[in-house]
């Protein structure tokens, strides 16, 4: 596991990753480039969920060049366990959870931060009127809408897209 940052951090970006070697470098370049232009302190915590590809090596190499990027190398227990460990190890006052595929553009972090002033949790949604989806097969989109409808009906009223991998706590 990476060293724990003891400096005050405003924002932690937590990225669970399992076999993401094909996209993790681009993902980290995107998020760090965006955050470097912000006027607050930040860190990125990649929670490697026991990947069997080169994910760990790639993130380790990047973390050696950028002290604000850390890796947690975990035993494979699934995304939920990786997210939990990331939340426990993050030191930011605010924490953004995002998937390595960035189903939402990284610039949307600003919108999540805007919502943090009046909410404890901010959940992005791919189901709002002006939302755009990228590279998603129509069958998957349909099944996701059905799942979200049932979830909203039975468990989380008012939450349009509980499975969107872009949340702020």
CATH code of the domain containing 89:
3.90.550.10
Q: What is the domain extent for residue 70?
A: 9-102
Q: What DSSP character marks residue 150? A: H
Euclidean distance between CA atoms 2 and 47, whole angstroms: 10
83 lies in a domain?
Answer: yes
Report the candidate in 163, 1, 22, 10 with the shortest Cα–Cα distance to residue 86. Answer: 1
131 lies in a domain?
Answer: no
- What are residue 43's phi and psi, to 5 degrees? -145, 155
88 lies in a domain?
Answer: yes
The per-residue pLDDT for range 14-46, each reduced to its tens digit, is 999 999 999 999 999 999 999 999 999 999 999
66 lies in a domain?
Answer: yes
The pLDDT assigned to 80 comes to 93
- Looking at the predicted structure, is the pLDDT value of residue 151 above 70? no
58 lies in a domain?
Answer: yes
33 lies in a domain?
Answer: yes
Query: Residue 145 burial by CB count (10 A; 0-12/13-18/19+): exposed, middle or buried?
Result: middle
Look-up: residue for tokens 């009127």?
129
> What is the number of structural domains in the chain?
1
Euclidean distance between CA atoms 22 and 58, whole angstroms: 10
Contact 49, 76 (CB under 8 A): yes
62 lies in a domain?
Answer: yes
Measured between its terminal Cα atoms, the distance across the chain in Å is 23
The mean pLDDT value for 6-16 works out to 90
87 lies in a domain?
Answer: yes
Report the candidate in 56, 47, 60 with the shortest Cα–Cα distance to residue 12. Answer: 47
> What pTM, to 2 d.p., does this model score?
0.76
The per-residue pLDDT for range 47-104, each reduced to its tens digit, is 999 999 999 999 999 999 999 999 999 999 999 999 999 999 999 999 999 989 877 7
């Amino acid at each position: 596991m990476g060293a724990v940052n003891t400096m005050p951090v405003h924002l932690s970006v937590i990225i669970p990753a399992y076999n993401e070697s094909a996209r993790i470098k681009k993902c980290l370049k995107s998020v760090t480039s965006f955050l470097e232009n912000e006027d607050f302190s930040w860190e990125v915590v990649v929670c490697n969920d026991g990947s069997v590809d080169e994910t760990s090596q790639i993130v380790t190499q990047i973390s050696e060049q950028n002290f604000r990027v850390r890796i947690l190398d975990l035993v494979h227990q699934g995304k939920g366990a990786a997210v939990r460990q990331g939340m426990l190890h993050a030191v930011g006052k605010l924490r953004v959870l995002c998937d390595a595929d960035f189903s939402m553009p990284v610039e949307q972090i600003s919108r999540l931060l805007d919502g943090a002033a009046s909410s404890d949790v901010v959940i992005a949604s791919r189901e709002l009127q002006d939302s755009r989806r990228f590279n998603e097969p129509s069958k998957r989109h349909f099944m996701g809408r059905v799942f979200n409808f049932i979830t909203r009906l039975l468990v989380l009223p008012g939450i349009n897209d509980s499975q969107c991998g872009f949340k702020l706590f």
